[in-house]
Amino acid sequence: MVEARIRVIYGDTDQMGGVYYANYFRYFEFARGEYFRARGGSYREVEREGLALPVVEATASYKSPARYEDVLLVRARVSEVKRVSLTFTYEIFREGGPDTLLCTGRTVHACVGRDGKPTRLPDMVVRLLHAAP
């Protein structure tokens, strides 16, 4: 698991003052990048191998709104690795207050080659996903 911190900017909020629902997916993406970096790699390395890990499924469950200036703690973990896909799960909390769960989510990623066709996850990616932070 990796914990990433991000501060809510004004542009992330909606007319009601809460974080606009789609922005939680941006926070998930931010945490995924931090996950790779914490393990000594980067998504760019995957791309250099001629591969991509597009999101093929994404879900979020909203529990309580985040607000402007909140510092969010985004926990990301790889919950499943298959032959040609992997799944990340997420939890978002407001930092500095009571441990209030704001949002949970999940993204499923396919491994595809330059031709856009599914391909086996290379060993280097599997090792990177399971490396200790």
Residues identified as active-site: 14
Q: Which residues of 2-15 are buried (b: 16+ CB within 10 A; e: fewer)?
A: bbbebebeeebbee
* Residue 51 in tokens: 């591969």
Q: Which residues contact 3 (CB under 8 A, 6 or more apart)?
A: 73, 74, 75
| 92, 27 Cβ separation under 8 angstroms | yes
